[in-house]
């Protein structure tokens, strides 16, 4: 206690060596604590956002790899059901075959993506494009919450399970069974669901639409064949191992074929290997066709 000039006692708070009162120090400590707590919360939010952003990027990389694989091989890869990252023939649903696609094995959440493709798209280019052109059936189907509530068929789907089992059903892949948009990402039955993150759903989903894949890998062209060779010829699709048609001398034919198909003009009908011998033509055959169209003339010897 100290006295002022009028003799009254004044309360003087103790100060540390730098002149701060204990109350001032306490206030500073409280402020630091509040800021530290907010910083931890902010760091947690930023970390989650970073993982989600990186997962979306990984999903897009996987989608691009599927398209590239289909463009090279004429089909989508089968799913991985053995856990080694390689596709297992005839397996339409399972894990992403990351080894086959040469991708990182897991997403940023350290989980392998769920993958399902339409089984008609795992055989060859002819079968794939035929199925895409006529309209896919047999699943997988998806409901996209950015659109209508009804499901529609897709070529393939990729699902990341997110950070946790948001719907608390014991499976990291979630479902939504109430509201306008419904679906189940545990097994895609009756359909998968792409939906913004909500309290009971944190899956991330990317799918490959049938028209999108068709535009990437399928191209058809018109083939015209004019036969003036003096004999009957057979237009043979050696890619499929089947005859497209028979042309008598003096006749012509027009055929719709897929780009990259190899055509032979032969002297006899045949199956996988063709029949008879290859007949000279202009341009010379066998010929692999691409572009908008082609005309093959078969002149007399």
Looking up residue 272, the CATH number of its domain turns out to be: 2.60.40.780
Task: Name residue 252's beta-bridge partners.
Answer: 226
Classify residue 27: in a domain, yes or no.
Answer: no
Classify residue 14: in a domain, yes or no.
Answer: no
> Is pLDDT of 234 > 60?
yes
Q: Are 249 and 231 in contact (CB under 8 A)?
A: yes
Supply the range of the domain harboring residue 265: 219-298
The domain tally of the chain equals 2
> Is pLDDT of 229 > 90?
yes
Give the pLDDT confidence score for residue 164 in this predicted structure: 81
Does residue 246 sit in the same domain as residue 287? yes
Q: Which long-range contacts (CB under 8 A, 24 or more apart) does 16-22 make?
A: none
Give the pLDDT confidence score for residue 166 in this predicted structure: 75
Give the pLDDT confidence score for residue 283 in this predicted structure: 95
Residue 249 CA to residue 252 CA, distance in Å, equals 9
Among 184, 216, 248, which residue terminates a domain? 216
Give ∠ CA 63-214-73 in degrees, rounded to 5.
Answer: 65
Among 216, 240, 275, which residue terminates a domain? 216
Nearest Cα to Cα of residue 184 among 117, 169, 281: 169
Give the pLDDT confidence score for residue 103 in this predicted structure: 96
Does residue 289 sit in the same domain as residue 150? no
Classify residue 138: in a domain, yes or no.
Answer: yes
> Is pLDDT of 292 > 90?
no
Classify residue 18: in a domain, yes or no.
Answer: no
Mean pLDDT for 267-290 is 92
How, if at all, do strands 275-278 and 262-268 pair?
antiparallel
> Is pLDDT of 135 > 80?
yes
Among 191, 216, 241, which residue terminates a domain? 216
Mean pLDDT for 242-259 is 94
Does residue 152 sit in the same domain as residue 59? yes
Does residue 208 sit in the same domain as residue 231? no
Tokens found for residue 169: 């059903």
Classify residue 192: in a domain, yes or no.
Answer: yes
Classify residue 41: in a domain, yes or no.
Answer: no
What is the C-alpha end-to-end distance of the chain, expressed in Å? 128
Tokens found for residue 27: 């206030």
Does residue 171 sit in the same domain as residue 150? yes
Classify residue 26: in a domain, yes or no.
Answer: no
Does residue 163 sit in the same domain as residue 198? yes
Does residue 134 sit in the same domain as residue 176? yes
Per-residue pLDDT band at 27 (split at 50, 70, 90): confident
Does residue 210 sit in the same domain as residue 229? no
Nearest Cα to Cα of residue 108 among 169, 156, 61: 61
Report the mean per-residue pLDDT for the chain. Answer: 88
> Is pLDDT of 232 > 90?
yes
Does residue 274 sit in the same domain as residue 235? yes
Q: pLDDT above 70 covers what percent of the chain?
A: 86
> Is pLDDT of 218 > 60?
yes
Per-residue pLDDT band at 105 (split at 50, 70, 90): very high
Give the pLDDT confidence score for residue 63 in this predicted structure: 97
> Is pLDDT of 93 > 90?
yes
Does residue 209 sit in the same domain as residue 80? yes
> Is pLDDT of 155 > 60?
yes
Does residue 155 sit in the same domain as residue 233? no
Does residue 204 sit in the same domain as residue 233? no
Classify residue 59: in a domain, yes or no.
Answer: yes
Q: pLDDT above 90 covers what percent of the chain?
A: 71
Q: Which residue has the tokens 């509530």?
A: 149
Give the pLDDT confidence score for residue 37 in this predicted structure: 60
Backbone φ and ψ of 212, nearest 5°: -65, -45
Give the pLDDT confidence score for residue 39 in this predicted structure: 57
């Amino acid at each position: 206690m100290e006295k002022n000039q009028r003799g009254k006692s004044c309360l003087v708070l103790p100060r540390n060596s730098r002149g701060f009162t204990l109350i001032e120090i306490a206030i500073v400590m409280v402020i630091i604590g509040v800021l530290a707590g907010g910083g931890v919360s902010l760091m947690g939010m930023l970390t989650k956002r970073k993982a989600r952003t990186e997962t979306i990027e990984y999903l897009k990389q996987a989608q691009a790899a599927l398209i590239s694989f289909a463009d090279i091989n004429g089909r989508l890869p089968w799913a991985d059901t053995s856990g080694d990252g390689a596709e297992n023939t005839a397996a339409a649903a399972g894990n992403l075959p990351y080894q086959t696609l040469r991708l990182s094995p897991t997403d940023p959440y350290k989980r392998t993506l769920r993958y399902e493709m339409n089984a008609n798209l795992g055989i060859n280019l002819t079968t794939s494009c035929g199925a895409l052109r006529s309209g896919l059936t047999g699943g997988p189907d998806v409901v996209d919450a950015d659109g209508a509530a009804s499901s529609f068929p897709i070529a393939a789907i990729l699902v990341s399970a997110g950070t946790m089992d948001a719907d608390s059903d014991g499976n990291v892949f979630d479902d939504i069974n109430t509201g306008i948009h419904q679906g189940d990402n545990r097994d895609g039955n009756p359909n998968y669901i792409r939906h913004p993150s909500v309290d009971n759903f944190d899956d991330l989903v990317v799918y490959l639409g049938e028209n999108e894949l068709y535009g990437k890998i399928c191209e058809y062209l018109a083939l015209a064949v004019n036969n003036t060779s003096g004999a009957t010829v057979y237009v043979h699709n050696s890619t499929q191992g089947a005859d497209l048609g028979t042309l008598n001398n003096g006749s012509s034919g027009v055929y719709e074929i897929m780009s990259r198909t190899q055509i032979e003009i032969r002297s006899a009908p045949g199956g996988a290997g063709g029949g008879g011998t290859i007949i000279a033509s202009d341009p010379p055959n066998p010929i692999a066709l691409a572009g908008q169209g082609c005309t093959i003339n078969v002149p007399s010897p």
